[in-house]
Amino acid sequence: MTSLRAKVTARRLIPAALTAALLAGGLAMSAMAQEPKRGGTLTVGLAQDPPIVDPIRTGSFTERQFATGIYESLFDIDEKGQAVPFLAESFTVSDDVKTYRVKLRPNVKFHDGTPLDAAAVIANFDRTRNPANGCRCLSFVQEIVELKAIDPLTVEFVLKAPNAAFPTILADAPGIMVSPTAFKADPKGISTNPVGTGPFKFVEWIRGSRFVMTRNTDYWRPGLPYLDQVVLRGIQNTETLQAAFLSGQTDIIMQPSFQFVAQMKKDKKFVVLQPGGFGYDGVYMNLSEAPFNDQRVRQAIAQSMDRELLLKTLMFGIPRLGYSPFGPGMAVSQPVPNYPKYDPAKAKELLAAYGKPVAFTLQYNNSPGSQRLAQSLQEMWGQVGMKVELQPADQNRLVQNMSSKQFVASLYRFTGRADPHINTHPFFHSQFADVTPSSNYGHYKNPKIDELLEKGVATIDPAKRKEIYAEVSKILAEDLPYAYLFYVTDTIVMSKRVKGLVEVPDGLVRFGSIWLQ
């Protein structure tokens, strides 16, 4: 390990230590003047009742949020959007950025009483790396060529190639620790009967009603959690979800409609949080078949979308216009000057040059907000001569269709991660173009993008990485495998009695530090 790497590690560990101190004290900055109170039940309303909570099979925002109270990862994301050690106590990285040594915190136990040690970490990665288990993160863990225990609390990861994003990967699904005893005893049941290290233990899951967690009295962070219980309610109908919050049935509502957010921002009874965000949403296109195998049609799609009008009328001015795979909460987020501007006349020219009728089906989430957006886009595309059939689907079905690449065009979102490698490599590298399931939904291939993505992940200097991913954004704005709409804004609206919530750019709520006034 070189002195340069030691300095890099030190810079990462300093904010990690500060974050750990804040978390251990259980205080958000805004609540430091108040003494946290113990007890009570926090009820949270979410837009989906997901099918499973197994980290290796979850992908959507709501699936991840359901898992958050029970499961924890080796690294976590701090308030600045950086990956910092969490279940890990510290780490070092080799000069060639291919070998990571991760030291675990002592005395951490799973909810079944078994220890989180090097053997448990290796067992988790053996499970995650097994293709038969179908982890959505398989592309990332396949980069690990060797995994070994240095001592009972130290694990060494040796990678195929340099990977500056590895700490962020360990903050996501691959780094989430599940009790090996539990998943070996019941490989299928672990999906609905989760056993982790988190501040809350699983109690029950009544489909369409509630997901209940109770306080972990043996939690490794002293004094936490404050709450006795957390109840999650997945409510797909947006109006019902919002009505439950306004009537006091829930204390927090996540991902409400933009109209609701705009109203709540004017109401002093509530607190509205808008994390910076890592992700993006837009029109995802399948480049393996007509009409989207032609770049001119994809450009016409982008240039016939009046995004400013959509932002003003449907989104109530809440999110920001999207131009790249890098949300505003990311260090590499920057303007993309060559992204196509709204120009319906140019769109008509492109379609005329294409020379054939353009007709396709657009999939979308069957929520009222998504339906209004789909209808507006249908009208805009119709004005330049495209015929669009709308196909609504519930969120679970939409996720399945995208993973299996059963779509022509789709309104879809990726909530994003803290490192640009994760927001691009699985989505745009050609090695995943013809792999199903994979996140390269549209079969996109470009050798220059492959080259840049491989260079970006091998580069540890932040300024150089920013330059590399700026070039990625420029090329994607030309190729347009996706026509971006907005950057993801996973708004959190909560009662003023909810205290101690630490706002993180990924939009997920960490329950350990929350208390009720």
Q: According to the model, what pLDDT value does residue 138 have? A: 83
Q: In this predicted structure, what is the pLDDT of residue 7?
A: 36
Measured between alpha carbons, how far is residue 176 from residues 118, 120, 198, 275, 390 in Å?
14, 11, 10, 22, 37
Work out the average pLDDT over 498-513.
96
- The answer to whether 70 and 194 are in contact (CB under 8 A) is yes
Q: For residues 495 and 469, what is the distance between their CA atoms, to the nearest angstrom?
A: 39
Q: Which of 85, 61, 52, 69 is nearest to 183 (CA)?
A: 52
* Claim: this prediction has a pTM higher than 0.75: yes
Same domain, 345 and 392: yes
Asked if 498 and 447 sit in the same domain, the reply is no
Report the SS3 class of residue 268.
coil
What average pLDDT does the segment 261-275 reach? 96
Which pLDDT does position 59 carry in this prediction? 76
Output the pLDDT for position 300. 98
Given a cut of 60, whether residue 3 has pLDDT beyond it is: no
Mean pLDDT of 365-380: 95
* Residue 118 DSSP SS3: helix
Angstrom CA distances, 216 to 39, 196, 202, 377, 513, stand at 13, 10, 9, 47, 13
Tokens of 355: 């020379």
User: 113 and 80 in one domain?
Assistant: yes
Where is 464: in which H helix or E strand?
helix 462-479
**Residue 178 in this model has a pLDDT that exceeds 80:** yes
Q: Are 515 and 500 in contact (CB under 8 A)?
A: yes
Instruction: Return the CATH number at 36.
Output: 3.90.76.10
With respect to residue 243, please indicate whether it lies within any of the assigned structural domains. Answer: no
- Do the domain assignments include residue 271? no
Euclidean distance between CA atoms 265 and 504, whole angstroms? 19
Task: Enumerate the H helices of 26-154 as residue ranges.
Answer: 61-68, 118-129, 138-141
Using one digit for the tens of pLDDT, what is the confidence trace for 436-478?
Answer: 888 999 999 999 999 999 999 999 999 999 999 999 999 999 9
How many domains is the chain built from?
2
Cβ–Cβ under 8 Å, residues 409 and 480 = no
Over range 250-279, report the average pLDDT.
95
CB–CB of 110/181 below 8 Å?
yes
Is the CB of residue 517 less than 8 Å from the CB of residue 38? no
Is 237 inside a domain boundary?
A: no
Q: Is residue 308 within 8 Å of 317, Cβ to Cβ?
A: no
pLDDT at residue 34 in the model: 84
Tens-place pLDDT, residues 139-165: 889 899 999 999 999 999 999 999 999
Q: What CATH number is associated with residue 432?
A: 3.10.105.10
- Please check whether residues 473 and 326 belong to one and the same domain: yes
pLDDT for position 221 = 98
8, pLDDT greater than 60: no
Compute the CA torsion angle 412, 453, 63, 246 (nearest 10 deg): -60
Contacts by 348-353, CB closer than 8 A, 24 or more apart? 348/300, 348/384, 348/385, 350/296, 350/297, 350/299, 350/300, 350/303, 351/296, 351/297, 351/300, 351/384, 351/385, 351/386, 353/296
**Is a pLDDT exceeding 70 seen at residue 190?**
yes
Q: Which of 16-25, 254-263, 368-377, 420-429 has the lowest mean pLDDT?
A: 16-25
Domain co-membership, 123 together with 14: yes
Q: Does any domain span residue 211?
A: no
Amino acid at 318: I
- Note down the domain range covering 502: 3-195+491-516
HSE-up (13 A, CA, CB side) for residue 501: 25
- Single-letter amino acid, residue 365: N
**DSSP summary character for residue 155:** E
Residue 262 lies in a domain: no
Please state which of the ranges 20-29, 221-230, 261-270 shows the lowest mean pLDDT: 20-29
Are 483 and 495 contained in the same domain? no
Residues 499 and 482 in one domain: no
Rounded Cα–Cα distance for residues 351 and 358 (Å): 8
pLDDT surpassing 50 at residue 256:
yes
pLDDT band at 9 (very low <50, low <70, confident <90, very high): very low
For residues 76 and 221, give the distance between their C-alpha atoms in angstroms, rounded to a whole number: 15
Instruction: Verify that 500 and 377 share a domain, yes or no.
Output: no
The 10 Å Cβ neighbour count of residue 23 is 19
Identify whether the C-beta of residue 332 lies closer than 8 Å to the C-beta of residue 474: no
Spatial separation of the C-alpha atoms in residues 511 and 25, rounded to whole Å? 13
Residue 106 belongs to some domain of the structure: yes
Instruction: Verify that 10 and 120 share a domain, yes or no.
Output: yes
- Looking at residue 437, its pLDDT comes to 84
Residue type, position 320, single letter:
R
Q: Are residues 465 and 505 in the same domain?
A: no
Kindly report, residue by residue over 408-423, the tens digit of the pLDDT.
999 999 989 999 999 9
User: Residue 214, by phi and psi: left (phi above 0), alpha (psi -120 to 50) or beta?
Assistant: beta
Assigned token pair, 116: 């989180």
Distance CA 57, CA 439 (A): 13
Question: Region 482-505: what's the mean pLDDT?
Answer: 96
Mean pLDDT (the chain) is 92
Among residues 304, 342, 314, 339, the alpha carbon closest in space to that of 325 is found at 339
**Per DSSP, what are the bridge partners of residue 101?**
92, 156
Note whether residue 167 is domain-resident. yes
Residues 434 and 502 in one domain: no
pLDDT digits (tens, 9 = 90+) for 301-339: 999 999 999 999 999 999 999 999 999 999 999 999 999
Share of the chain above pLDDT 90, in %: 85
Residue 295, pLDDT above cutoff 70: yes
Residue 304 lies in a domain: yes
Around Cβ 14, how many Cβ atoms within 10 Å? 11
Residue 13 has pLDDT above 60, yes or no: no
Same-domain check for residues 509 and 432: no
User: Residue 439 in contact with residue 481, Cβ under 8 Å?
Assistant: no
Q: Cβ(371)–Cβ(364) under 8 Å? A: yes
**Torsion angle (degrees, nearest 10) of CA 443, 444, 448, 451:** -50
Q: What is the DSSP letter of 7?
A: H
- For residue 33, name the pLDDT band (cuts at 50, 70, 90): low
